[in-house]
Amino acid sequence: MKPFILASQSPRRKQLLEQVNLSFSIEASQVEEVIRNESTPEDIVISLARQKAEDVFFRNKNSVVLGSDTIVVIDGEVLGKPENEAMARHMLQRLSGRTHHVYTGVYMISEEQAEGFFVRSEVEFYTLTNEEIDTYIATGDPFDKAGSYGIQGVGAILVKKINGDFFAIMGLPIAKVVRALKKFHINVDHS
């Protein structure tokens, strides 16, 4: 079996792969995330995931490499990771009391094959007060997450309802990933 590499420093993606007993190593991609002229959120997340996976794969040709990216979209606008408190506040105010979409793209590559896919989920937020937003920002949780929140941590209290894949919202649609990895002869260790 070829070595399996996660091209990400995301602690959430690492945690999800560990939860299903996959044997893997981590090598963060060095590419600067560039959103090219893709017209749809689906194309954006698959392209970003592909850039990350290919960057690591070119240094590890005898491996299977997985790249992933997550974006939040509201009113047709992509919300990435906030650079500062003001950006985080603005994003959370936009999401407050509204429904938005979370897109997670996955791209896997080996010498023999490559496969990319995305998962789209819908998230509805409670209406948030400025105090709730400021309290959440003070936790530091928003700053490494698309849309300024993490559904799996303290950010869970912001979420009224989801329609879709919780784990994709968290950063990796793990069930779909495990199924796709079988095509690359990477299997879950059940021992």
Nearest to 29 by CA among 135, 109, 141: 109
Catalytic annotation, pick one of 55, 69, 75, 144: 69
Nearest to 96 by CA among 137, 72, 127: 127
> How is residue 48 written in tokens?
């970003």
SS3 track for 130-143: HHHHHHHHHCCHHH
Is residue 69 part of the annotated active site? The answer reads yes
List b or e across 148-158, with b for residues whose CB sees 16 or more CB atoms inside 10 angstroms: bbbbbeebeeb
The answer to whether the beta carbons of residues 28 and 55 sit under 8 Å apart is no
Within 8 A by CB and 6+ apart from 67, the residues are 7, 8, 29, 48, 49, 50, 51, 52, 53, 54, 55, 56, 106, 107, 108, 109
> How is residue 73 written in tokens?
């979209």
Catalytic residues: 69
